[in-house]
Amino acid sequence: MAKTARANYPANASIRGVAVTPRGQQTPRIKNITIMEASHPFPDKTSAAAAREVQKTVRSAKRGDFVLALISGGASSLLGAPVPGMHPDDYRALLARLINKGADIRELNAVRRKISACAGGRLATICKAPALALICSDVVNGTPPDIASGPFAPAVIPAKAGIHTIIENRIIASATLSLAAAEKVLKKSGATVINIGECAGEARQMAKAHAKQFRKQAASKKTKKPIAFLSGGEATSKAGGKNTSGGANCEYALAYFLADNNTDYALIACDTDGTDGTANAAGALFDGKDKTLATKKNLPPKKYQTNRDSATFFAKLNALIKTGNTKINTNDFRTVLFF
């Protein structure tokens, strides 16, 4: 986002700024922009350092300047620093516990808005210049205060909020928009498309419900065309133990794998930012051939599900999707295609 924005300004424009990206990403240099790496999904000292640098940059803007904020999912962690008076260790421990227990994004962000130094509109309160926040949403039916815990968008504006300038928040990418784009592509290819929109819930339960619903709807359609069921939003899952690998999308895929034993369909479930939990992948893609292969390899899917080791299961089938960092996050993307 920062690279594209900078490219649309004149080369000699008076610009200064900071961009924060997940650790280990190969991020290109951007003229007049300081690049910092921080931790995701669990904030650490690098996240706190990034938060301080962002605060410093926002504070430095004068009334005659213009602040452009580019915000995407993951920023809550990348700018993870506690509010004054809270110890960093307590802050990180609380967030880690919530994540590991499977808290959904709204629950997490409700807490982050209370305890994070850059969340809950706190960047808006220290900004003297007019600001425009362009936001990529990773929250189901999200509004600006929900996404990245609302750095420039307080959920509620108190009478003494201290906001002294014009702040505009605008969502430019979301799951709804990405699903609409996928629907166009699938229809153009000749498929009948049923777009159920954004969904939220525990990955395994969501997959079981979808398997039953989609199978029933597909059977009722009197057409020879392939039928595609699209969904987005956010599935959640609990973390596995040591030496296990997975995330909500791999969990969803494995639960669906178990729920529908037929081989006349294909499924993709992935996180649009390229990282599904602790899996070194965006998610999983399988079809009937993979079901047959799992049987031949004597891979017991139920055992991998019980151990919350879904990514390892799909890795053994060579069925993981590896995109690397996509540099955008509109949350989950899922398609089930019946042939």
CATH of the domain at 111: 3.40.50.10180
Q: What is the pLDDT of residue 161?
A: 55
* CA–CA dist 201, 165 (Å, integer): 38
- Residues 149-167 have a mean pLDDT of 74
Q: What contacts 287, CB < 8 A, 6 or more positions away?
A: 263, 265, 266, 267
* CA–CA dist 71, 68 (Å, integer): 10
Which helix (H) or strand (E) is 35 found in, with range?
strand 33-38
Give 265's strand partners: 338
Task: Tell me the residue range of the domain where 96 lies.
Answer: 2-173
In this structure, of 71-75, 81-85, 132-136, 176-180, the range with the lowest mean pLDDT score is 71-75
Q: Are residues 163 and 46 in the same domain?
A: yes
- Residues 203-230 have a mean pLDDT of 94
> In total, how many domains does the chain have?
2
Per-residue model confidence as pLDDT tens digits over 297-332: 999 999 999 999 999 999 999 999 999 888 888 989
Q: Are residues 203 and 76 in the same domain?
A: no
Per-residue model confidence as pLDDT tens digits over 93-113: 999 999 888 787 788 889 999
Checking if the pLDDT of 164 tops 70, the result is no
Per-residue model confidence as pLDDT tens digits over 68-91: 999 987 899 999 999 999 999 999
Contact 331, 271 (CB under 8 A): yes
Q: Are residues 115 and 56 in the same domain?
A: yes
Q: Are residues 23 and 153 in the same domain?
A: yes
The model carries a pTM of 0.77
Q: What is the pLDDT of residue 190?
A: 95
Checking if the pLDDT of 162 tops 80, the result is no
Checking if the pLDDT of 336 tops 70, the result is yes
Contact 198, 176 (CB under 8 A): yes
Q: Are residues 105 and 185 in the same domain?
A: no
Q: Are residues 56 and 132 in the same domain?
A: yes
Q: Are residues 157 and 191 in the same domain?
A: no
Which residue, 132, 155, 173, sits at the end of a domain?
A: 173
In this structure, of 50-59, 79-88, 97-106, 122-131, the range with the lowest mean pLDDT score is 97-106
Checking if the pLDDT of 294 tops 90, the result is yes
What torsion, rounded to 10 degrees, do the Cα atoms 45, 325, 201, 268 define?
A: -160
Q: Are residues 141 and 191 in the same domain?
A: no
Distance of CA 314 to the CA centre of its chain: 21
